Structures are given as C-alpha cells and as structure tokens.
Amino acid sequence: MTELSEADKKLQDELEKLSQQRQLILARLERSSHERINQNLEQAESSRKRPSSLREASDQQVQSIKKSAKDSIVLSDIQGTLGERLLELGQTVLISDKRSKYLSLCKNCVIDLTPSNEVSQIDLIGSSRIRPFLKKYLVEVGGDENSDNNIDELAKLLSKLSNKRKLESCYKDRIAKYEPRNDIERAVHNIYKYVLEQHAFKSFMLTNAYIDACSEQSINIKYWSYLFETYFGRNRNIFLQWGDTIAADCKNSSLSFKLDLRIIVNIEKTDHDIIAAELAPPTTTINSKLYNDKLKLALVSKCHLNSLLMAMPFIPKTKIKLIRLPLIQIMGLSCHIYALSLIDKGVYLLQRICSVTYPFTHIHLQTGGLQKIVQAFSVVEDMISDISDYHRNYSTDNSTKMDKLLKARKKSTADVEDWVSEVIWDKRLADEN
C-alpha cells in the first residue's frame, strides 16, 4: 500500500475536520427544529396549571448548559478541550430514543470507549487521536498485575471434556473428590461443581428453549446469583444486596435509580457502594434495554465514584486517575464488566474490562468459558481491594510533621471537589426504570 504524501495527509485531515463540523451543524439544526416544536407545544399548553414535562426538561437543559469544563485534555484535531467537546455534544444531541439518551452521557462528561456498531461518542467527537490518547488508561486483563484464582489442576481437565459421558465420569472421579486447600479454592471449586452439575445431570436447563422461558428473576436465581454469592460472599466485608434498592449516596443526590444488585464493601467500619449491577432476561436483550441499563449504571457509578473520592481528602493528584470502579451489566447469560475512572478534572472514562458467557454448551467448557468467569471475578475483586487500600491510605492525614512542612511548600494532595462533577440527569429517565 502506497504511503500518503504530506500534502495528501493534510488534505485528509482537512476532510476529517469538515466531516466533524458537518456532524455538529446537522445536530444543531436538528436540535433547533426540536426546540421550535417544543415552544409551540408549551404555548398551546400554557393554560394548564401544572408545569409540563417539556418545560421541566427545558429547565434541566438550561441547568446543564451552565456547566463548564474544567479539564486540560487538548487534542490537536479538535477545538477546545475534550471536556468542552463533550459538553457541547451534550447540548446538541437530540434526545429522541434510548440510544440518544445514552449519548447524553456527554452532559456528564463521561466518555465511553466501548466498541459500537452504531454512531458512538467517539464518532461524534470526531478525533482520530482520542483512542491513542486514552489507551494509557485502559485496564489490561490477564496480565501479571491481575489475579486469576482458577484451580489449574481442575481447569486442565475441562478442556478434555468432549462429551457428556466424559463429563459425568470426570465430575464423579475428579471434580467432586477434589479437596480445596483454602477459602478461595473452596469458592472456586463450588462454582465449578455448580456449573458442571448442570451440564452432567440437568442439561435441560441449558437448552435455548429453557433459557428463553426464564424471567429476569429466574435468570438470576438459576444461573448468576449462586456464582456471585459463592465468590464474593465469602468475604465478611462484602455484602451483596439483591432486588430493586437505591444506594444511600444516590438518595443523597436525589437519584432514584433502583438497582438489581448492589455490591457494598465495608472499609474502616463504613459501608460504601462500590459496584452497581443490572440484569435482564434474554428475551429483552434489545438495544433500548442495553442502552437504558448501561446509562443507569454509568450515572450511578459516577455518583459512587464521587462519594468515594470525597471520602479521600488526602489523595494525591497522581492517584485519583488510578481508582477504577467496576460496574456489571448482565443480559441473559452474557455478563459485561466495565470500569469507570476519573482521568482529568470533570472528565470520566467508561471502558469495558471483559465480557463472559455463562457456559451452556460443551464448547464453552472446552474453550475455557468457566475459567473466564472466575478470572473476571478475580479482576473485579482486585479492583475492590485496590479501592479499599486507597481509602485506608488517603481518608486520613498520615503525614509526619516534616511531611507537612514540605507540603506547605508544594501541595501534593488534590482538591477533590475541583475534580469531580455533579451527576446531570433527566427525572423522566428514572421514572421509566
């Protein structure tokens, strides 16, 4: 392939910039048309005593416009900072369906790096340099820095289970007779047994017809809840709250989002909501549900991250960007794990850490599907452990007198209030959940 000349490269850059400007102009025109329609509707309903939902939405729009970007992320192929571009998009994207509501993450300066088959934030931002820039903040799964609590001795056996007869024999002779050496092995061993028992003795539960007949609660009870409780519930400082409940910090921020699962961690005798999770049955795995749940999880997690950081008034500026909050979205037998972090003042990054599938075929077992779930849980546990360590280290001032004298000359701690930004949301969105 012939390498482009400098002139061709400049022309290509100019075409990209023109394309970006065209997208923004179209979005602004669409929004202007929408606002004129709203004005006509509001005038027609002005005789009513109660304020219309359209007027409430308009007031919220004005409030969000007053937000100003605080970040210093500058990319050469966009005007202003990344935060300014996100807020601009948040003001110009027309909110007409669940997907466009999801793009309202821009109002919260949350940028989602998850690959998408449709138009994404990255497309709207229009920068070819944004992914390379954000690469340094990505979490690597499966490297030396991550734990993997699989039991190698048993995991090797699973790749050889080519049919149900071998599975039944292996389960009785090897899996069931294995003696765990510690608490984590006991938890992983029980997870192995739970899934393999379904394959060996209750395979009807793993047919498409059976799975499709399951409600959200059935999917939870029959497949996922045992795995989560067995793995994370062994820790006395971790509490899994199932059912439609609202986190305390969300209530304090007037966010009435009910969650299917909240993972609460006790740190220094204080409970903190760390992980938000949503579940959906396979029959409703459509785009609108995907976007709605993911938006809810992102906004709730932003609230959780803000609360955690506010509880660490002595955290250094260099450490803020290292705190990553897990969030979990389950749709049928698919589980997607994300992480939310603060990469600059007021700018949040949402990235997908990994995706796993509950093993419902022999192929899944042979290709490491069961081990991938344990590995994913191990990574989430590492993130919880890191958050706990940061909280213990930076919730109180542990510096010596000499340290304080040096800090007087050069401040190293961050002004957390200057880093975080409030959650901007539309009340109608919560009413739909």
| pLDDT tens track for 385-398 | 999 999 999 999 87
Please report whether residue 415 resides in a domain. yes
Instruction: Identify whether residues 99 and 175 lie together within a single domain.
Output: no
Domain boundary among 83, 107, 137: 137
pLDDT for the residue 406: 62
> Average per-residue pLDDT in the chain?
84
Cite the DSSP H helix spans in 224-344.
225-232, 248-252, 287-310, 317-320
Instruction: Identify whether residues 126 and 194 lie together within a single domain.
Output: no
| 58 closest CA partner among 45, 77, 75 | 45
Domain that residue 313 falls in: 152-431
Q: Does position 400 have pLDDT exceeding 60, yes or no?
A: yes
With a CB cutoff of 8 Å and minimum separation 6, the contacts of 58 are: 38, 42
Instruction: Identify whether residues 218 and 312 lie together within a single domain.
Output: yes
Please report whether residue 1 resides in a domain. no
Cα 86 to Cα 388: distance, rounded to the nearest angstrom = 31
Please report whether residue 142 resides in a domain. no
Instruction: Identify whether residues 186 and 61 lie together within a single domain.
Output: no
Average confidence (pLDDT) over 390-419: 77
pLDDT band at 52 (very low <50, low <70, confident <90, very high): low
Q: What are phi and psi of 236, to 5 degrees?
A: -65, -20
With a CB cutoff of 8 Å and minimum separation 6, the contacts of 338 are: 114, 297, 326, 327, 328, 329, 350, 351, 352, 353
Domain boundary among 103, 137, 171: 137
Instruction: Identify whether residues 307 and 417 lie together within a single domain.
Output: yes
Task: Domain count for the chain, please give it.
Answer: 2
Instruction: Identify whether residues 216 and 106 lie together within a single domain.
Output: no
Average confidence (pLDDT) over 297-312: 97
Instruction: Identify whether residues 60 and 179 lie together within a single domain.
Output: no
pTM reported for the whole predicted model: 0.81
Please report whether residue 147 resides in a domain. no
Instruction: Identify whether residues 120 and 86 lie together within a single domain.
Output: yes
pLDDT for the residue 99: 67
Instruction: Identify whether residues 69 and 187 lie together within a single domain.
Output: no
Domain boundary among 111, 137, 163: 137
Q: Does position 339 have pLDDT exceeding 80, yes or no?
A: yes
Q: DSSP assignment of 318-363, as one string?
A: HHHTT-EEEEEEEETTEEEEEEEEEEETTEEEEEEEEEEE---SHH
Please report whether residue 412 resides in a domain. yes
pLDDT for the residue 425: 82
pLDDT for the residue 98: 64
Q: Does position 178 have pLDDT exceeding 50, yes or no?
A: yes
Q: What is the pLDDT of residues 86-101, one digit of tens each?
A: 998 888 776 666 667 7
How far is residue 241 from each of residues 165, 244, 245, 246, 260, measured CA to CA in Å? 38, 9, 8, 10, 8
